Structure 1
Amino acid sequence: MSEEGHVKVLNETGEESNAQVLDSVAVSQRLQKAMLKMTGKFLDETTGKVNYASLKSSEEFREYCATAGQLRAVDVEKLDEKEKLAFFINVYNALTVHSLTEIQGERRIDTALDVPAFWSSHAYRIGPFVCSLDDIEHGVLRGNKAHPSTGRPVIPEDDPRLKYQVSTLEPRIHFALNCGAMSCPMVRVYSSNNLEVALEGATRSYLTQEVKVEDDVVRLPEILSWYRDDFAPDEMGMLRWIRTYLEEKEQLALDTLMATGGSAGPKVEFFYNWSLNKL
C-alpha cells in the first residue's frame, strides 16, 4: 500500500508484472476467482455480511492482494463495453472489500462513513492511473456524470482516465455495486458472458427485497433518490422503471398509488442503513 496525497493505493505491492502489459480479461478472471474464494468462505449469502476479521488473516486474502497487483499492468482500452462493465464492477466491489478489510485490521468502525472521504481516499492503480472508488463508480461506470453529493464530475475534463469511461450509462450497476453498508446490494462476481443475466438478476433481487408499498407510501432505498436521473428524468418515471422488477402484489399496489396520487405522484419515503455489513 502507498499513499499519493490523501489517496491510499492498495495494490502497489503484489505480483510483479515485469513491465509486461497483461491481458485485462485474464486479470479480471483471476480477480474473479480470488474474489469467489473470499466471498465463498467469508461472506454470508443469507445476510450479505462479511467476516472481515477472519478475512484479514486468511490465505485467500493474501492471494487476492497478490492478484490485485496485476491491475497495474493491464490495458483497459482493449476491453469492449461488456468486458469493461464487468471488469470495473468487479474491481469496485473488490476494492471496497479490500479497503474495509484493511481498515478493520487497524481500528473498529461501525460504518464506512466513520472513515473520512472513504470513497475518494481508497484506490487501486489500474494500468498507469490511480482510480479511487469514486473515480470508478462516477467517472468510469456512470460516464463521469456529476457526483450526487457535489453536483460535479469527479474526473476533470482533461484527465486521461476519461478514456476508461463507459460509452453508455447502465443504470442497473447501482444494484451491483457494494459500498460496505447493510442497505447495499450483495457482493457478486460478474463476467462479460453473464453480464446481462447477472445484472437483471441483481436488480430484481435487490428491488424485490428492499422496495415496500404499504400504508399508501412507497418506501425506497436511497440509492433510487441519489441516482434518480440515471433511471428517468423524474420521480414518476423512476417508479415506472422499478415497477417491472417488483412482485405482482407490489406492482398492483404501486399502480394504485400512482393512479390516485395525481400529478405529484404517490408519497415516497427513502431509507438507508449505513451500518457496516460485518459479521
Structure 2
Amino acid sequence: MRRIILTLLLASAVGAPLAAFVAPTPGPAPTTVAASIDHGAYDRMLKKYVNDKGLVDYKAWKGNQQELNQYLDLLSKNPPAASWSQAEQMAYWINAYNAYTIKLILNHYPVESIKDIGSKIKIPFVTTPWAAEFFRIGGKKMSLDDIEHGTLRKQYGDPRIHFALVCASISCPRLRNEAYTAAKLNQQLDDQGRDFLNSPAKNKVGKESAQLSKYFDWYKGDWSKNGQSVTKWVHKYASTPMAPTAKITYLDYNWKLNEQ
C-alpha cells in the first residue's frame, strides 16, 4: 500500500502519467547468425602451388606454410553452423579435408606416398594417416576419416564428394586449383565427375566393358542410393556411353604422391 501511494505522489509531482513509470516488457534477445567463412586465401594457395593436372608443388609449399596455417586456424575456429546452407557446409568440409591432407603431407615431406606416413604414426590403435586425430575443429579432435565418413558421407548423402576429396595420390581425383564454394559447388562437383570418369589413368570406359577406379568398388553402397547405380553414375559423366549390361572390373590403385 505504501509503495502504491509513493508511486502516485511521484507521478503527480512531475505531471507525468502513471504509465510512464511502468517498465517495458523486454523483447527477445537479438540472435547472431554465424556467417560462413571466406575460402579466398585457400583459393590463392591452390592457384599458386597446384597445376592444371592437379599435381602439387609440395617442396615449394613446405617452405612457405604461414598462409596455410592461418587458413587452417580459420577452419578450426569456425566450424559450420546450423544456419549455413547445405552447400556452404559441404564446401567447408571438402576444403577442410583437402587442406588438412596437404598439411599432413607437408608435416612429413618428403614422402613417396601418403601411406608411408602410417608407419611413422606412433599412436596406439592408429595405423593409417586417415585415422590420426592431428587437428581440431570447433575444439574437437578430428581425423580425415571423421570428415569423410563421419561427416560428409553420413550427413549429406551426395556420392559426388568422392570426386572432390583428394588423398594426395595419383589415382585420386584431380585436386582442383581453386577452392570449393557454395555458389559453384554443384557445378564444381559435376565438373570433377566428368574429369575423373574421362581420365584414362583413372577410368577406362567402353560400351560393353569398363575398368573403373576402385572408388566405385569401395563405395558401392554410396553409388547405389536413391535408385542409382555405379553404371548410372558412370553413364552420367563418361563421354563414352556404357551399356547397363557392361562388364565392370576395377583398376589397381596408384598410391604414389600427386607431386609435380
- Whether 1:133 and 2:144 are equivalent positions in the alignment is yes
CA–CA separation in structure 1 for the residues paired with 2:33 and 2:117: 33
2:111 equivalent in structure 1:
109
Give the structure 2 partner of residue 94 of structure 1: 99
Alignment match of 1:33 (pick from 40, 49, 56): 40
User: 2:210 aligns to what SS in structure 1?
Assistant: strand
Picking from 180, 186, 201, the partner of 1:196 is 186
Query: Residues 171-226 of structure 1, C-alpha deviation per residue, up to 9 Å, x if partnerless?
Result: 00000000000111122311111111111111111112132135954110111110
Secondary structure of 1:49's counterpart equals coil
Distance 1:224-1:57 versus aligned 2 partners, 3 A rule: same
Per-residue deviation at 1:43? Answer: 1.1
Q: Which amino acid aligns with 1:226?
A: W
| SS of 2:81 mapped into structure 1 | helix
Q: CA 1:176/1:113 → structure 2, altered by over 3 Å: closer, same or farther?
A: same
Specify the alignment match of 2:233 in structure 1.
241
Q: 1:70 aligns with which of 74, 85, 90?
A: 74
CA 1:22 to 1:49, structure 2 compared with 1: closer, same or farther past 3 Å? farther
Q: CA deviation at 1:76?
A: 2.1
Distance 1:25 1:191, change over 3 A: same
Pairing of 1:1-279 with structure 2 (within 5 A)? 23=34, 25-26=36-37, 29=38, 32-46=39-53, 48-58=54-64, 61-78=65-82, 79-104=84-109, 108-116=110-118, 117-143=128-154, 166=155, 168-188=156-176, 189-209=179-199, 210-213=202-205, 217-232=209-224, 237-247=229-239, 250-251=240-241, 254-255=242-243, 258-259=244-245, 266-279=247-260
- The verdict on how the C-alpha distance between 1:24 and 1:274 changes in structure 2, with shifts beyond 3 A counting, is farther
Once the two structures are superposed, what CA deviation does each residue of 1:115-166 show, in whole Å capped at 9, x if it has no partner? 11111115321112122100000000010xxxxxxxxxxxxxxxxxxxxxx2
Distance 2:79 2:101 in 1: 22
Report percent identity of matched pairs. 29
Q: 5+ unaligned residues in a row in structure 2: which ranges?
A: 1-31, 119-127
